């Protein structure tokens, strides 16, 4: 019989001893001070005194983050304290007076464990109290009391039990505290810095990576996973503790206790392992199911689909189950009879009955595929098909086109992890979209080859929902509510229907005839009070934002209503190759993450405070109302930008910036749910149209981002196109990041064929009208081609095959770029001239973009931001043109973009401000084909660039073995690294910039300045001996200073010319040097190769090695 008295006594005095330990006290004080400052910082002071919205927006996140921080440190400290008790026990004489007492080893170890745990629980209590205090004093934040309990139980308890048990066990086995520390701290370090979320975060004993975000809507979205994962560590910890009882070096007091410890420890171990295997098994079985689903879908690759004209869906919300009756009116619109009629339906939904034209019909169910046995439909034949089914949604059957690695990748915001959910069916909340396949959809779902799932059909929907009293159902169309019964009817065909049911409240406004709704969970309306002062102005601000967007995409908003629906934070979707529509976008509505936590501009109070303290309004005279309007505008802009916040990562000293797609970009509402241009042969066609239409909303990529990355995504796209065809890139998961850019580049190339003949404005008018004709209908690429042919006489189809599969790219040489002001009549205009050659055998286009301040176009009005005029220049293979543009007003800058080409960088930027007036220049706009191509060098010039074979650099082979082992080849970044002027690399590094010398590729090698031990060498081939003038191409960095700060471009470059009379150290002073070619002197060379070297010796911060030119005298 276990003596609780003994356990309590041992625990009590262990606790007292540890609480009085200075080691623990110092750690506790540091933890308390750090977390107090952290809470003060993120909840009170940051963000202009409004606190960090990502944290305070959801009150449960406050205890989550606090315990996350504490847990990492306490897990380490627990190792010290836990192993210390066994060390203390090794002082035998001291322990002997305890060991000879009448108690069992179990009581002793359990008592010690509890004593240790109590100490940490006290600390947790203190930290949580601090968090609660900050939670209470933070403005506009409620307290989620239960979250404090949940996170304590899920984060701290399993971690402490596990790490203590492990410490006891290892200490018992090794019996050396120092070695135990090394082993366990090594384990901590590996799990924190290497294992992280690998292996389905199986090794994440500190809960640092497992998603634990708690939603106000649905709580933990992954409760089962969390309980299994945390339970695994809890039981493994218990097992280790009970094994320690057996291993304790004290004569057992009770054999019964030993057997109990052995049995109980083994049971815990087995259960812990079982939970671990279940944890991993759940992921693996998901993956297995997905593979089966994909394989099954591909079996139906050639099966044509029926067209659904009408959906009549009846949903009964029964707790965690859906009970549905769905009637579909279908037609075989194919030209041939359908031998098989198949539908897909989420495999978690069990079909109980199917009727065809009112008669029960046999069916065969394979996973998600429902095949109506024996049903054949002749061309044009119609049928009414009734499905009755019930069950749950299996979410692993969603996003079958998304690879496993992407699916299991962490979803992180601020410092917390969020689980990814694609559907919710709980007694109090439902969220279903087409991706969940919660209603029958023609076809077999997504496969590896079969992408029919992503094709769209326009159908009429009627949706009837019965749910719990008090809940609100939200879907597309007009709604009629009768108590807890909702009926939605769409007034036009739709591609899909979604269903959201929850404890919502609705805010509604009529904006220019558009029904504008905001649905938020009751108690989540944190914004009405903020906007109270400007509530009468809101409709006009929203209308203006909408018009601006309509103007930029040259399309009207197609629906009668727009709803912003708050959904659980866990709701997640993926960017896809063949569809630009994320599931957050549904017809007529945007599913917006809980409290706008993922959108910084949803923090209205914070943004207001930020503007007041630091923002552009701080020094301006703006009324509070005007500031709030600006805050609202900024929030609305969250829906009109395609890219979200850039994600910065360092890799091998280089900054990598990944632009994350913005899931709330509303373009899909304008295009994807209103139009569909289908092509079975080139499924990406619709995306090309989509991409073309949305390019008007592209924000100009910031130069510094490209400079930091080394290459823009367009340039990376071009690099990819050098080795892969468009078709191959679309199928290559490694190219997912740049696939949008490639689609856009290829789209521009495709449409330039029409524009070249039709003209820009004509084509835009045509496209605008054409899309209006096919609104809410499916059109094929052949339909579009026919329309183009009818209007412009151009047949696109023959060009499409090579457009899709060719690997050839044009290459452009651009020279003599000249921008001046000229007088055209009595108006001063800007004229930009240059010569361009396409040196490859395939045709190509370049785009010249001028940034202006004015706006214009179909939708009229003035945009708030700068407008861009784009001009396209088409060049046949091996063709050269002289082009000239004449611009009214004062363009602020221009960029020549070589689009799909071999050129790197693909963009040459030209500032056009403060231009001089050329009184002799003749104003002219147009392009002329000329015979003489652009020449990169004159006939008597010999140039060796850093891209040429004659250029070599030394390698600084320093670096630790660990670094070499840890950084694999796979992690090396793209060929051209970013340009880091403040922290230049220690090795010669290749970087691209339009200011460097180059033919197609304008690049240079650069290195941190040093003592001259690193060299770049140009070996210049000479055909004859003699005197040569030697020039170096010098890049002048106008943004950064010398090594000791101060003047920009302070410092010098040393070029060593090895000539017949010896070696000459030609020094170029960067202050006085010309940007471009600089003369180093004239030297006699008699050998067939001249050698010029450059070292890294310089007072400048960095040294840039670009090109050397020799001209024979």
Partner 1 sequence: MNITIEGLSKIYPNGNRAINNISLEIQDGMFGLLGPNGAGKSTLMRILVTLMKPSSGKVTIDGLDLVKNRKEIRKILGYLPQDFRFFSKLTTHEFLDYAARLAGMKDSKTRASAVDRMLEEVGLFEARDRQANRLSGGMKRRLGIAQALINNPRLIIVDEPTTGLDPEERIRFRNLLSTISTKDVIIILSTHIVGDISSTCKSMALLNRGELAYSGSPDELVEQAGDKVWLIKATEAEYLEINEKYPVISTVPTQEGWEIQVVADSINGYSGNHIDANLEHAYVYFMENQLNQWTAI
* Shortest distance, position 142 Cβ to partner 1, whole Å: 42
Dmax over CA atoms of the chain, in Å, equals: 111
User: Rounded distance, CA 943 to CA 534, Å?
Assistant: 65
| CB-nearer residue toward partner 1: 101 or 892 | 101
Q: How many CA atoms lie within 13 A of 203 on its CB side?
A: 13
* Shortest distance, position 26 Cβ to partner 1, whole Å: 15
User: Rounded distance, CA 101 to CA 95, Å?
Assistant: 10
* Shortest distance, position 3 Cβ to partner 1, whole Å: 9
* Shortest distance, position 602 Cβ to partner 1, whole Å: 51
* Shortest distance, position 134 Cβ to partner 1, whole Å: 32
Element (H, E) at 466: strand 460-466
The residue range among 93-101, 758-766, 876-884, 979-987 that interacts with partner 1, by the rule CB under 8 A, is 93-101
User: Rounded distance, CA 666 to CA 646, Å?
Assistant: 19
CA distances from 1057 to 712, 1087, 1096 (A): 36, 13, 15
Tally Cβ neighbours within 10 Å of residue 645: 12
| CB-nearer residue toward partner 1: 11 or 589 | 11
Angle, alpha carbons 6-10-15 (nearest 5°): 145
| CB-nearer residue toward partner 1: 256 or 841 | 256
Strands 1026-1034 and 1107-1112, bridge-based pairing: antiparallel
| CB-nearer residue toward partner 1: 246 or 289 | 246
Element (H, E) at 179: helix 177-189
Q: Are 1095 and 1008 in contact (CB under 8 A)?
A: no
| Interface with partner 1, residue 96, by CB under 8 A | yes
Please give the residues from 100 up to 139 whose contact with partner 1 meets the rule CB under 8 A: 100-103
Q: How many CA atoms lie within 13 A of 394 on its CB side?
A: 19
Please give the residues from 728 up to 757 whose contact with partner 1 meets the rule CB under 8 A: none
With CB under 8 A as the rule, give the number of residues binding partner 1. Answer: 28
| CB-nearer residue toward partner 1: 9 or 695 | 9
Give the residue, chosen from 97, 922, 932, 965, that forms a contact with partner 1 under the rule CB under 8 A: 97
3-state secondary structure 965-985: HHCCHHHCCCCCECCCCCCCC
| Interface with partner 1, residue 1, by CB under 8 A | no
Q: Tell me phi and psi for residue 923, to 5 degrees.
A: -65, 130
3-state secondary structure 323-350: EEEEEEEEECCCCCCECCCEEECCCCEE
| CB-nearer residue toward partner 1: 96 or 917 | 96
User: Rounded distance, CA 82 to CA 167, Å?
Assistant: 6
* Shortest distance, position 252 Cβ to partner 1, whole Å: 8
Select from 772, 804, 1032, 817 the least CA-distant residue to 909: 817
| CB-nearer residue toward partner 1: 15 or 437 | 15
User: Rounded distance, CA 1007 to CA 841, Å?
Assistant: 37
The residue range among 95-103, 149-157, 392-400, 719-727 that interacts with partner 1, by the rule CB under 8 A, is 95-103
| Interface with partner 1, residue 970, by CB under 8 A | no
* Shortest distance, position 85 Cβ to partner 1, whole Å: 10
The residue range among 2-10, 272-280, 428-436, 987-995 that interacts with partner 1, by the rule CB under 8 A, is 2-10
| CB-nearer residue toward partner 1: 255 or 970 | 255
Q: Tell me phi and psi for residue 584, to 5 degrees.
A: -65, -25
Please give the residues from 1074 up to 1113 whose contact with partner 1 meets the rule CB under 8 A: none
Please give the residues from 250 up to 309 whose contact with partner 1 meets the rule CB under 8 A: 250-254
Give the residue, chosen from 98, 133, 722, 823, that forms a contact with partner 1 under the rule CB under 8 A: 98
| Interface with partner 1, residue 99, by CB under 8 A | yes
Give the residue, chosen from 26, 29, 94, 827, that forms a contact with partner 1 under the rule CB under 8 A: 94
- From residue 895 to residue 914, the character string flagging contacts with partner 1 as x (rule: CB under 8 A) and all else as - is --------------------
User: Rounded distance, CA 694 to CA 674, Å?
Assistant: 14
Q: Are 648 and 557 in contact (CB under 8 A)?
A: no
Please give the residues from 6 up to 45 whose contact with partner 1 meets the rule CB under 8 A: 6, 9-10, 12-13, 16-17, 20-21
* Shortest distance, position 104 Cβ to partner 1, whole Å: 8
The residue range among 4-12, 114-122, 518-526, 936-944 that interacts with partner 1, by the rule CB under 8 A, is 4-12
* Shortest distance, position 6 Cβ to partner 1, whole Å: 7
User: Rounded distance, CA 1038 to CA 1057, Å?
Assistant: 27
* Shortest distance, position 172 Cβ to partner 1, whole Å: 18
Residue located via tokens 């929030």 = 635
| CB-nearer residue toward partner 1: 97 or 932 | 97
CA 557 to chain centre: 26
User: Rounded distance, CA 355 to CA 362, Å?
Assistant: 8
User: Rounded distance, CA 87 to CA 90, Å?
Assistant: 5
Q: Tell me phi and psi for residue 369, to 5 degrees.
A: -95, 130
* Shortest distance, position 99 Cβ to partner 1, whole Å: 6
| Interface with partner 1, residue 350, by CB under 8 A | no
List all residues 6 or more positions away from 443 whose beta carbon is below 8 Å from its beta carbon: 300, 303, 305, 342, 343, 344, 450, 452, 453, 455
CA distances from 952 to 104, 1010, 1020 (A): 75, 18, 11
* Shortest distance, position 564 Cβ to partner 1, whole Å: 59
| CB-nearer residue toward partner 1: 6 or 716 | 6
| CB-nearer residue toward partner 1: 107 or 1106 | 107
The residue range among 38-46, 98-106, 129-137, 481-489 that interacts with partner 1, by the rule CB under 8 A, is 98-106
| CB-nearer residue toward partner 1: 68 or 110 | 110
| CB-nearer residue toward partner 1: 103 or 296 | 103
Q: What sign has the CA pseudo-torsion 532, 537, 541, 543?
A: positive
Q: Are 1112 and 940 in contact (CB under 8 A)?
A: yes
| CB-nearer residue toward partner 1: 11 or 356 | 11
List all residues 6 or more positions away from 968 whose beta carbon is below 8 Å from its beta carbon: none
| CB-nearer residue toward partner 1: 16 or 645 | 16
* Shortest distance, position 171 Cβ to partner 1, whole Å: 18
User: Rounded distance, CA 212 to CA 61, Å?
Assistant: 9
User: Rounded distance, CA 523 to CA 503, Å?
Assistant: 10
| CB-nearer residue toward partner 1: 39 or 116 | 116
| CB-nearer residue toward partner 1: 100 or 722 | 100
* Shortest distance, position 28 Cβ to partner 1, whole Å: 15
CA distances from 1102 to 978, 1049, 1098 (A): 14, 10, 7
3-state secondary structure 675-727: EEEECCCCCCHHHHHHHHHHHHHCCCCCHHHHHHHCCCHHHHHHHHHHHCCHH
Residue located via tokens 């218990």 = 238
| CB-nearer residue toward partner 1: 250 or 507 | 250
Positions in the binding site for partner 1 (CB under 8 A): 5-6, 9-10, 12-13, 16-17, 20-21, 88, 91-94, 96-103, 250-254
């Amino acid at each position: 019989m276990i003596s609780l008295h003994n356990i309590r006594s041992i625990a009590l005095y262990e606790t007292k001893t540890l609480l009085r330990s200075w080691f623990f006290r110092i750690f506790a004080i540091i933890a308390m001070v750090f977390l107090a400052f952290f809470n003060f910082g993120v909840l009170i002071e940051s963000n202009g005194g409004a606190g960090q919205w990502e944290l305070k927006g959801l009150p449960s996140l406050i205890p989550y983050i606090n315990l996350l921080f504490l847990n990492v440190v306490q897990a380490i400290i627990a190792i010290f304290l836990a192993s210390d008790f066994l060390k203390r026990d090794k002082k035998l004489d001291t322990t002997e007076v305890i060991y000879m007492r009448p108690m069992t080893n179990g009581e002793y170890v359990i008592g010690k464990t509890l004593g240790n745990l109590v100490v940490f629980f006290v600390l947790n209590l203190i930290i949580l109290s601090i968090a609660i205090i900050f939670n209470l004093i933070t403005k506009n934040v409620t307290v989620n009391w239960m979250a404090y309990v949940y996170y304590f139980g899920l984060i701290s308890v399993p971690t402490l039990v596990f790490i203590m048990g492990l410490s006891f066990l290892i200490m018992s086995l090794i019996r050396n505290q120092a070695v135990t520390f090394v082993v366990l701290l090594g384990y901590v370090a590996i799990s924190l810095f290497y294992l992280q979320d690998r292996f389905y975060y199986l090794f994440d004993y500190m809960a640092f990576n497992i998603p634990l975000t708690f939603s106000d809507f649905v709580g933990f979205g992954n409760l089962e996973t969390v309980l299994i994962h945390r339970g695994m560590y809890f039981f493994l910890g218990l097992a280790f503790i009970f094994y320690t009882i057996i291993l304790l070096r004290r004569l057992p007091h009770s054999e019964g206790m030993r057997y109990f410890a052995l049995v109980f420890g083994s049971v815990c171990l087995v259960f812990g392992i079982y939970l671990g295997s279940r944890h991993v098994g759940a992921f693996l079985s998901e993956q297995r199911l997905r593979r089966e689903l994909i394989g099954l879908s591909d079996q139906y690759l050639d099966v044509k689909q029926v067209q659904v004209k009408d959906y009549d869906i009846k949903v009964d919300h029964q707790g965690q189950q859906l009970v549905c009756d769905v009637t579909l009116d279908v037609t075989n619109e194919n030209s041939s009879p359908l031998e098989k009629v198949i539908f897909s339906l989420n495999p978690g939904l069990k079909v109980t009955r199917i009727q065809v034209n009112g008669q029960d019909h046999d069916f065969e169910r394979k996973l998600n595929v429902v095949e109506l046995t024996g049903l054949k439909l002749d061309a044009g034949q119609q049928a009414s098909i009734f499905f009755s089914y019930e069950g749950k949604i299996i979410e692993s059957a969603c996003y079958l086109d998304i690879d496993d690695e992407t699916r299991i990748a962490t979803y992180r915001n601020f410092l917390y992890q969020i689980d990814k959910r694609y559907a919710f069916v709980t007694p109090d909340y439902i969220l279903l979209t087409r991706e969940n396949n919660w209603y029958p959809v023609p076809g077999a779902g997504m496969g590896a080859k079969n992408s029919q799932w992503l094709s769209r059909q326009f159908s009429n929907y009627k949706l009837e929902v019965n749910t719990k009293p008090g809940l609100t159902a939200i879907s597309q169309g007009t709604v009629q509510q009768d108590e807890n019964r909702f009926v939605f009817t769409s007034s036009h065909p739709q591609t899909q229907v979604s269903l959201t049911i929850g404890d919502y409240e609705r805010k509604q406004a009529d904006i220019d005839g558009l029904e504008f709704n905001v649905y938020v969970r009751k108690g989540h309306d944190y914004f009405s009070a903020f906007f109270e002062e400007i509530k009468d102005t809101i409709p006009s601000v929203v209308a203006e934002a909408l018009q601006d967007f309509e103007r930029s995409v040259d399309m009207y908003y197609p629906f009668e209503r727009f709803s912003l629906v708050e959904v659980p934070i866990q709701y997640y979707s993926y960017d896809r190759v063949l569809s630009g529509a994320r599931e957050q976008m549904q017809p007529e509505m945007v599913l917006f993450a809980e409290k706008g936590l993922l959108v910084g501009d949803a923090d209205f109070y914070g943004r207001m405070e930020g503007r007041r303290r630091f923002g552009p309004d701080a020094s301006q005279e703006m009324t509070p109302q005007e500031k709030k309007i600006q805050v609202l505008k900024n929030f609305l802009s969250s829906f009109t930008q395609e890219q979200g916040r850039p994600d910065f990562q360092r890799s091998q000293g280089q900054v990598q910036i990944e632009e994350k797609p913005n899931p709330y970009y509303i373009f899909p509402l304008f295009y994807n749910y209103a139009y569909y241009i289908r092509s079975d042969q080139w499924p990406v066609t619709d995306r090309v149209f989509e991409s073309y239409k949305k390019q008007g909303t592209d924000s100009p990529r910031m130069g510094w981002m490209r400079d930091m990355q080394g290459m823009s995504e367009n340039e990376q796209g071009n690099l990819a196109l050098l080795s892969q065809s468009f078709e191959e890139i679309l199928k290559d998961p490694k190219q997912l990041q740049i696939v949008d850019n490639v689609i856009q580049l290829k789209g521009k190339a495709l449409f330039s064929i029409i524009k070249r003949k039709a003209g820009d404005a004509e084509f835009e008018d045509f496209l605008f009208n054409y899309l209006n004709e096919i609104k809410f209908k499916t059109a094929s690429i052949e339909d579009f081609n026919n329309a183009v042919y009818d209007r412009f006489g151009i047949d696109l189809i023959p060009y499409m095959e090579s457009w899709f599969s060719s690997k050839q790219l044009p290459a452009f040489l651009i020279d003599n770029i000249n921008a001046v002001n000229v007088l055209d009549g009595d108006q001063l205009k800007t004229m930009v001239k240059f010569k361009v050659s396409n040196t490859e055998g395939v045709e190509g286009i370049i785009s010249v973009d001028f940034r202006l301040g004015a706006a214009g176009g179909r939708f009229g009005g003035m945009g708030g931001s700068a407008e861009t005029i784009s001009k396209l220049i088409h060049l046949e293979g091996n063709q050269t043109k002289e082009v000239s543009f004449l611009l009214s007003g004062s363009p602020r800058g221009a960029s020549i973009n070589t689009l799909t080409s071999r050129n790197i960088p693909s963009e040459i930027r030209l500032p056009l401000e403060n231009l001089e007036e050329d009184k002799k220049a003749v104003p002219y706009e147009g392009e002329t084909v000329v015979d003489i191509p652009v020449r990169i060098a004159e006939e008597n010039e010999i140039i060796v660039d850093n891209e040429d074979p004659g250029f070599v650099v030394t390698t600084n082979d320093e670096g630790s073995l660990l670094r070499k082992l840890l950084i694999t080849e796979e992690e090396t970044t793209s060929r051209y690294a970013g340009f880091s002027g403040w922290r230049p690399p220690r090795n010669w590094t290749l970087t691209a910039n339009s200011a460097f010398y180059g033919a197609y590729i304008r690049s240079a090698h650069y290195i941190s300045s040093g003592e001259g031990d690193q060299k770049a060498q140009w070996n210049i081939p000479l055909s004859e001996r003699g005197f040569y003038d030697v020039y170096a191409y010098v890049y002048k960095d106008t943004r950064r200073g010398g090594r000791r700060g101060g003047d920009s471009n302070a410092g010098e470059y040393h070029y060593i010319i090895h000539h017949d009379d010896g070696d000459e150290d030609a020094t170029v002073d960067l202050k006085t040097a010309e940007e471009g070619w600089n003369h180093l002197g004239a030297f006699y060379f008699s050998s067939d190769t001249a050698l010029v070297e450059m070292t890294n010796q310089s007072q400048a911060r960095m040294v840039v090695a670009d090109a050397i030119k020799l001209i024979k005298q």
